[in-house]
């Protein structure tokens, strides 16, 4: 539901339906209960539930519910008794009591109850669409009325009620000369115009003057007092005829006689002159003087040119139109009319009547509305500090909007100029006053108004009002997204109730996510002397669609009694328009940005719609001292009850208080083990202090709770069940409830780290009262330590000595790294020369061009790599005794993803004890390295049982990535132009795809450019593509290259290469899985071919004839090796034995063999194994 502008005279209630995919999210429970909720029903057709307000009086506790479409949309308010067995709501029948005396009330569509606000003496209600009739026009200034404590309406007030234009004297001057024919349209014009005017002694009077050669008065201003009398007199006027048209003589006569007091003219009344003629005047020489005198006298003039005579006689109308325009007031487009013939006069009567009416006694006609359509009361907020009722007037000043301050019987209406500069409202559609609130710093009260359509993105304005009732803008904030309706909901929050506003909450319920989902947001702003600073946002769960989160916001005094106010936010369209509310708790730091509770309306009643469209959480309605929440829905109102809060604490003690594994005094199932008693106690504190009763909980006890992180088995077990886990139920009150359990300790190598006992508490019944405090701990952990063999002080002082030896082949300096030489191996020795060292570790930190591979031996050494570029090894665990030494080998592999000229490793030894000589605990090594050019082997498996993808949507549907980089190195002679050709096998001879080019990247700077016409030719990712694969035999084909397959060429150009520089071209491809799944036969062996090609290049330097030496060229083209062939091997029909395959694979590399035996053995004969091996690119330099 959204209040929107639907025309210049109406803001209605628009129900928006969205059918969407919604993420299912379970409700989360804290202290607002859903069990026992009270649901009140009313007529949905009346929009019952659009607003809701909690109220109390001597007769009980109530909900006031707005039904703004009740009774022909006049609106009304219901009262619903909260306590007792009845859930029937009674209508207050206020429609007949809300009216303004001495005006013509238009109560239809009044929408009474659209706005409800709390005031010290009761409640305030408004009907912003209340109207008054002035003449034939309806204005909508809005109306409000206060309800006393017994819900009886007080006299209504309308700060913007109109005076229907005030007194106005209208003199109509009709041309009655011979050229007017026929005459009846002139009288028809009068009969059509007069009904649209508000005729009366205190409003509008009319006189008619007819002229030809001379003017005469048909009837005076005071001749008739009623509309019917004037109509009768006008219908009997006869044409006087005349051979001349003395228009300006008639105008002068009207000025002097028509408006004269002797003929009924009233001092102070607006003077309006209407001149109707069909020809140019014969006394035009008087024009300037006559018009100037009319202007001086303040007479507003309408000029109407009847062109019928000119058109019938083929006379140019230009001069006639010019003359009549000179009679009309400025601007002429508002005060000048012309019709093609006499009969058409009646068609402009209505428009003329409206323009006359809009003069409103000022003597200036026009279309600009001020407060006539203001809809005062569209929103309301009571400003406590200044005892002012703020009323929003969204329709004021042609929908720019404004705010009205009502204090007692006096109203201050801020003019358009008060906020004009801030709004910058070019299109007059800001709707300022849509929402209202106040802020305070303890001494100054700041007023806040929302304008959700300002600049299309919404705006919030903060202002103050001085003693002269003048508004001064202090600050403003604009929304961040067009159409988000930022500022449509405002709420101020004093979190700690110290009298100073901490946060301003601004709703933007139509905010859309990047996926164009209308989720909604609530912005948070802190306040410093009225200046707003954004502090973040509140939002519902990600992925909600059309939720309208933030369409309603309510600040409760303190829902969980922790001393901080809480916030309720409605999302009435979430969950398929059923609606959801969210609760955010205040705390010492402000307001939690994560909701503590989510309550879907569907949990309360599957038939609910728009649950959360309105909210109130201001009062305790069941006398338990806790504020409760009332929620409006479509045709229903739901009352939820807040529950008491229990904060549980736990304590534990152990006897004995330390574990001595040498003291095995307990007999457990025939084994002698150490045991101890664990006493666990629970107690609770409650808010409020007198809750319904103790809290029912279940608690779980766990020994060695970090078992999954560091241990295989628990060191401690409960004697009662021989398990490390025990779960029980209990009732917890303010007095401690204790239980003693016997625990025995198993044989364990880890007697350094304390044994933990973890207690976890959870609510037994989520709907019970009281409820567990969600901000306090529900898990408690206690520790019993082990005794240590480190002397009487039990402080272990160690002296660890660390040394190492490089075992990798190190014949060259720097080390040459290649696919055959990519290991870096160390022998590490750690020795303890002092007291026992518990939990001894050796950590290795290494550069990014290395990665950890393995450790040997594994007995007594355990290595884990949990952080990038770090590996930690436990040695001699759990204790490295005095003079004990541990030796192990650790291996790293070189990474070809990060090429660096140094490989660096730092080893450090440490323990849980105090180190005596830390200087010999760390060693560092830096090794220079170089990388041989070559190719890396890639391996992947094509599963023949997989479905062949025939509709390719993404690149992943093709197959695995296959990427390589071509490096071109220049020598000592610069080259101005260099060509590079890369040939890719893209399909087999049978037409099945092999490689699919996805990207060709060159380095920044523009020296290298490549043809990209072959990149992504099927536009995969942009649109779906149908592909097919045919059966094809590749038996006998050992390599797939440009001889055995179809190749495409990538052409690259290198311009103005610098000497001794490197240039790179990175090619990214995908291997088509479908080809290798559908082929009929492949070689049943796997081979690895490392093919090298020495490319002899001849360079000619422009302008010279001599050849460049071949040795120089070969040295500068080391990196020019490119893709020549893609070798495909099939490992086919794996059955019970893998020995034949092992023999074949043993001819390749040791690593492939190891992988195959470890990983491929369990696979069945339905798998194909595809090895993609090393390759090079033919480089062609022209």
Radius of gyration of the chain (CA): 46
The answer to whether 53 and 118 have CB atoms below 8 angstroms apart is yes
Cβ burial, residue 830 (10 Å; 0-12/13-18/19+): buried
In a shared domain, residues 896 and 769:
no
Residue 1147 inside a domain? The answer is: yes
Judge if 766 and 673 occupy the same domain: yes
Q: For residue 363, tell me if it sits in a domain.
A: no
Could you tell me where the beta strands, DSSP code E, fall in 955-1033? 961-969, 975-988, 995-1002, 1008-1010, 1025-1026
Residue scoring higher pLDDT (698 or 356): 698
The answer to whether residue 330 sits within a structural domain is yes
Q: Where does the pLDDT of residue 74 fall: very low under 50, low under 70, confident under 90, or very high at 90 and above?
A: very high
pLDDT digits (tens, 9 = 90+) for 837-852: 887 899 999 998 898 8
pLDDT of residue 29: 67
Residues 251 and 246: their CA atoms lie apart, in Å, by 9
Q: Report yes or no on 259 lying in a domain.
A: yes
Domain boundary (318, 333, 357) is at 357
Residue 1151's pLDDT is: 37
791 in a structural domain: no
Domain check: are 637 and 651 in the same one?
A: no
| pLDDT confidence bin for 360, thresholds 50/70/90 | low
Question: How many domains, in total, are found in the chain?
Answer: 5
Whether omega before 688 lies within 30 degrees of 0, making that bond cis, reads yes
Distance CA 19, CA 576 (A): 7
Q: Are residues 102 and 192 in the same domain?
A: no
Which carries the bigger pLDDT value, residue 10 or residue 302?
302
For residue 1155, what pLDDT band results from cuts at 50, 70 and 90? Answer: very low
Provide the pLDDT for residue 711: 56
The dihedral through the CA atoms of 707, 709, 711, 715 has a sign that is negative
Query: Does the pLDDT value for residue 1103 go beyond 70?
Result: no
pLDDT of 1091: 38
Q: Is residue 14 part of a domain?
A: yes
CA-to-CA distance for 467 and 644, rounded, in angstroms? 47
Beta-strand pair 975-988/1045-1057:
antiparallel
Across 365-369, 499-503, 962-966, the highest mean pLDDT is recorded for: 499-503
Domain check: are 687 and 703 in the same one?
yes
* pLDDT class of 165 with cuts at 50, 70, 90: low
CATH number at residue 728: 2.60.40.1460
Residue 559, helix vs strand vs coil? coil
pLDDT confidence band for 933 (50 / 70 / 90): low
Same domain assignment for residues 263 and 331: yes
CB atoms within 10 A of CB 941: 18
Residues 6+ apart with CB under 8 A from 704: 711, 714, 715, 716, 724, 755, 756
Q: Are residues 129 and 178 in the same domain?
A: no
Same domain, 541 and 689: no
Please give the share of the chain, as a percent, with pLDDT higher than 90. 56
Last residue of a domain, one of 931, 954, 976: 931
The mean per-residue pLDDT over the stretch 22-31 comes to 52
480 sits in the region (left: phi over 0; alpha: psi -120 to 50; else beta) called: alpha
The answer to whether the beta carbons of residues 133 and 106 sit under 8 Å apart is yes
Q: How far apart are CA 224 and CA 232, in angstroms?
A: 10
| Cα distance between residue 1038 and residue 37, in whole Å | 77
**Of 302 and 968, more confident:** 302
DSSP-assigned letter for residue 514: T
Question: What does the buried/exposed string (b/e) look like for 923-935 if buried means 16 or more CB atoms within 10 Å of the residue's CB?
Answer: eeeebebebeeeb
Of 13-17, 502-506, 689-693, 1023-1027, the range with the highest mean pLDDT is: 502-506
Single out the residue of 460, 532, 477, 529 nearest to residue 503, CA to CA: 532
Question: What would the two tokens of residue 764 be?
Answer: 């037994």
- The whole-model pTM stands at 0.62
Tokens standing for 608? 């609910």
d(CA 957, CA 1029): 14
Least confident of 101-105, 154-158, 735-739, 1073-1077: 1073-1077
- Residue 317: count other Cβ atoms within 10 Å of its Cβ: 16
Per-residue confidence at 705, pLDDT binned at 50, 70, 90? confident
Same domain, yes or no: 956 and 915 = no
| pLDDT tens per residue across span 791-829 | 777 788 989 999 989 887 655 678 888 777 888 899 999
Residue span of the structural domain in which 960 resides: 938-1172
Is 540 contained in some domain? yes
Q: What's the whole-number average pLDDT of the chain?
A: 84
pLDDT digits (tens, 9 = 90+) for 653-678: 999 998 887 788 899 888 899 999 99
pLDDT of residue 874: 87
pLDDT tens-digit readout, 90-108: 999 999 899 999 888 999 9
Of 907, 931, 955, the position where a domain reaches its end is 931
pLDDT at residue 996 above 70? yes
Shared domain check, 424 and 301: no
pLDDT in tens, 1006-1051: 788 898 889 999 888 888 888 888 878 777 777 788 888 899 999 9
Query: Are residues 315 and 418 both part of a single domain?
Result: no
Residue 364 included in any domain? no
Structure-token pair, residue 7: 């025309």
CATH of the domain at 457: 2.130.10.130
Peptide bond into 331 cis (omega under 30): yes
Q: Read off the CATH number of the domain in which 823 is found.
A: 2.60.40.1510
Q: 897 and 847, same structural domain?
A: yes
CATH code, 226: 3.40.50.410
């Amino acid at each position: 539901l959204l209040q929107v502008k639907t025309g210049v005279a109406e803001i209605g209630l628009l129900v928006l339906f969205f059918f969407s995919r919604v993420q299912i999210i379970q409700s989360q429970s804290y202290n607002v209960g859903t069990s026992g909720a009270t649901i009140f029903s009313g007529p949905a057709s009346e929009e019952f539930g659009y607003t809701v307000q909690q109220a109390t009086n001597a007769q009980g506790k109530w909900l006031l519910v707005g039904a703004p479409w009740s009774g022909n949309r006049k609106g009304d308010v219901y009262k619903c008794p909260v306590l007792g067995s009845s859930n029937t709501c009674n209508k207050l029948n206020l429609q007949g009591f809300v009216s303004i005396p001495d005006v013509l009330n238009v109560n239809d569509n009044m929408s009474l109850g659209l706005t409800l606000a709390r005031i010290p003496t009761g409640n305030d209600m408004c009907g912003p669409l209340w109207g008054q009739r002035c003449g034939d026009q309806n204005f909508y200034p809005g109306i409000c009325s206060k309800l006393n404590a017994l819900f009886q309406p007080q006299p209504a007030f309308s700060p913007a009620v109109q005076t229907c234009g005030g007194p106005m004297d209208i003199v109509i001057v009709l041309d009655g000369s011979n050229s007017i024919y026929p005459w009846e349209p002139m009288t028809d014009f009068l009969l059509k115009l007069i009904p649209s005017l508000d005729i009366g002694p205190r409003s509008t009077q009319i006189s008619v003057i007819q002229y030809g050669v001379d003017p005469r008065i048909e009837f005076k201003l005071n001749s008739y007092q009623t509309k019917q009398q004037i109509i009768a007199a006008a219908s009997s006027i006869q044409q006087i005829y005349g051979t001349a048209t003395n228009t300006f003589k008639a105008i002068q006569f009207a000025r002097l006689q028509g408006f004269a007091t002797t003929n009924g003219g009233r001092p102070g009344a607006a003077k309006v002159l209407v001149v109707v003629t069909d020809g140019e005047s014969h006394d035009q020489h008087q024009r300037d003087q006559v018009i100037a005198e009319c202007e001086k006298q303040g007479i507003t003039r309408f000029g109407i040119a009847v062109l019928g005579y000119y058109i019938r006689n083929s006379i140019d109308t230009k001069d006639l139109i010019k003359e009549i325009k000179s009679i009309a007031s400025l601007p002429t487009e508002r005060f000048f009319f012309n019709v093609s013939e006499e009969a058409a006069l009646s068609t402009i009567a209505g428009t003329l009547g409206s323009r006359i009416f809009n003069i409103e006694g000022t003597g200036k006609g026009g279309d600009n509305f001020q407060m006539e359509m203001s809809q005062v009361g569209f929103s309301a907020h009571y400003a406590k500090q200044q005892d002012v009722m703020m009323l929003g007037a969204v329709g004021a000043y042609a929908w720019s909007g404004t705010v009205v301050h009502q204090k007692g019987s006096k109203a201050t209406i801020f003019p358009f100029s008060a906020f004009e500069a801030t709004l910058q409202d070019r299109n007059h559609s800001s709707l300022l006053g849509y929402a209202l609130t106040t802020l305070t710093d303890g001494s100054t009260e700041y007023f806040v108004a929302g304008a959700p359509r300002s600049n299309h993105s919404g705006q919030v304005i903060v202002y103050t009002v001085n003693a002269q009732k003048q508004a001064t803008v202090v600050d403003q904030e604009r929304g961040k997204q067009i159409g988000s309706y930022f500022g449509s909901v405002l709420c101020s929050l004093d979190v700690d109730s110290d009298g100073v506003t901490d946060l301003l909450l601004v709703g933007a319920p139509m905010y859309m996510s990047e996926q164009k989902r209308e989720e909604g947001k609530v912005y948070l702003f802190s306040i410093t002397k009225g200046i707003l600073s954004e502090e973040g946002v509140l939002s519902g769960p990600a992925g909600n669609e059309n939720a309208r989160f933030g369409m309603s916001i309510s600040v409760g005094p303190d829902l969980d009694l922790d001393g901080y106010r809480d916030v309720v936010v409605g999302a009435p369209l979430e969950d398929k328009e059923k609606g959801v509310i969210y609760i955010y708790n205040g705390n010492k730091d402000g307001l939690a940005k994560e909701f503590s509770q989510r309550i879907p309306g569907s949990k309360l009643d599957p038939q609910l719609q728009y649950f959360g469209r309105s909210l109130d959480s201001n009062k305790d309605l069941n006398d338990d001292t806790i504020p409760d929440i009332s929620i409006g829905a479509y045709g229903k109102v739901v009352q939820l009850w807040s529950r008491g809060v229990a904060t549980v604490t736990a304590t534990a003690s152990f006897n004995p208080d330390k574990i001595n594994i040498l003291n095995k005094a307990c007999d457990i199932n025939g084994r002698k083990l150490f045991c101890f008693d664990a006493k666990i106690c629970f107690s609770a504190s409650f808010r409020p202090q007198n809750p319904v009763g103790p809290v029912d909980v279940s608690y779980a006890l766990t020994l060695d709770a970090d078992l999954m992180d560091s241990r295989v088995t628990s060191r401690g077990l409960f004697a009662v069940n021989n398990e490390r886990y025990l779960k029980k139920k209990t009732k917890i009150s303010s007095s401690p409830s204790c239980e003693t359990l016997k625990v025995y300790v198993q044989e364990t190598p880890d007697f350094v780290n304390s044994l933990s006992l973890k207690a976890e508490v959870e609510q037994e019944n989520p709907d019970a009262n009281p409820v567990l405090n969600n901000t306090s701990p529900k898990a408690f952990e206690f520790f019993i330590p082990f005794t240590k063999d480190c002397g009487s002080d039990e402080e272990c002082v160690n002296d660890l000595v660390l040394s190492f030896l490089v075992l990798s082949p190190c014949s060259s300096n720097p080390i040459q790294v290649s696919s055959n030489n990519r290991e870096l191996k160390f022998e590490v020795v750690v020795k303890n020369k002092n007291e026992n060292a518990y939990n001894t570790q050796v950590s290795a930190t290494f550069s990014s061009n290395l990665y950890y591979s393995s450790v040997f031996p594994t007995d007594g050494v355990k290595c884990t790599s949990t952080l990038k570029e770090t590996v930690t090894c436990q040695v001699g665990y759990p204790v490295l005794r005095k003079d004990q030494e541990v030796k192990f080998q650790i291996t790293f592999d070189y990474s070809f993803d990060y090429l660096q000229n140094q490989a660096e490793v730092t080893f450090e030894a440490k323990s849980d004890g105090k180190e005596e000589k830390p200087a010999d605990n760390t060693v560092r090594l830096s090794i220079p390295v170089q990388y041989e050019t070559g190719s890396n082997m890639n391996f992947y498996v094509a599963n023949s049982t997989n479905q062949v993808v025939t509709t390719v949507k993404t690149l992943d549907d093709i197959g695995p990535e296959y990427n390589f980089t071509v490096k071109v190195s220049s020598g000592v002679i610069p080259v101005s132009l260099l060509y590079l050709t890369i040939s890719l096998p893209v399909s087999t001879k049978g037409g099945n795809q092999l490689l699919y080019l996805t990207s060709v990247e060159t380095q920044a700077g523009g020296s290298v450019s490549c043809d990209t016409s072959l990149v992504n030719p099927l536009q995969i990712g942009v649109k779906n593509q149908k592909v097919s694969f045919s059966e094809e035999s590749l038996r006998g084909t050992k390599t797939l290259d440009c001889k055995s397959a179809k190749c495409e060429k990538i052409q690259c150009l290198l311009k103005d290469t610098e000497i001794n520089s490197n240039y790179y071209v990175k090619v990214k491809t995908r291997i088509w899985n479908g080809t290798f799944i559908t082929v009929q036969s492949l070689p049943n062996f796997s081979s690895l071919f490392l093919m090298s090609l020495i490319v002899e290049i001849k360079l000619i330097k422009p302008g010279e004839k001599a050849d460049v030496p071949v040795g120089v060229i070969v040295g500068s083209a080391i990196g020019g090796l490119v893709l020549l062939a893609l070798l495909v091997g099939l490992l086919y029909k794996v059955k019970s034995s893998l020995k034949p395959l092992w023999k074949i694979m043993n001819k390749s590399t040791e690593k492939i063999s190891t992988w195959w035996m470890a990983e491929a053995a369990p696979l069945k004969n339905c798998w194909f194994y595809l090895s993609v091996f090393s390759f090079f690119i033919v480089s062609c330099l022209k």
